[in-house]
Amino acid sequence: MLRLTRRTEYGLMALALLAQKGGPAGGFCCVREIVDQLSVPRRLLAEILKDLSHAGLVCAARGPSGGYRLCRPASQLSLAEVVAVLEGPHLFADCTGGGRCGLEHGCTIRNGIRGVAARIQRLLADVSVQDIAGARPAPAPQRLELELQR
Top pLDDT among 116 and 101 is at 116
Q: How far apart are CA 16 and CA 127, in angstroms?
A: 13
pLDDT tens-place string over residues 10-55: 999 999 999 998 888 888 999 999 999 999 999 999 999 999 999 9
pLDDT tens-place string over residues 112-141: 888 888 898 899 999 999 999 985 544 545
- pTM comes to 0.79
The ranges assigned to domains in the chain are 6-133
Do the Cβ atoms of 28 and 61 come closer than 8 Å? yes
CATH architecture for segment(s) 6-133 = Orthogonal Bundle (1.10)
Alpha carbon separation from 97 to 75, 90, 125 (Å, rounded) = 26, 6, 16
**What is the CA 105 to chain-centroid distance, rounded?**
34
Helical residues (DSSP H) of the chain, grouped into ranges: 6-20, 31-38, 42-54, 79-87, 110-126, 129-133
Asked if pLDDT for residue 111 goes beyond 80, the answer is no
pLDDT score at 9: 96
Asked if pLDDT for residue 8 goes beyond 90, the answer is yes
pLDDT score at 124: 93
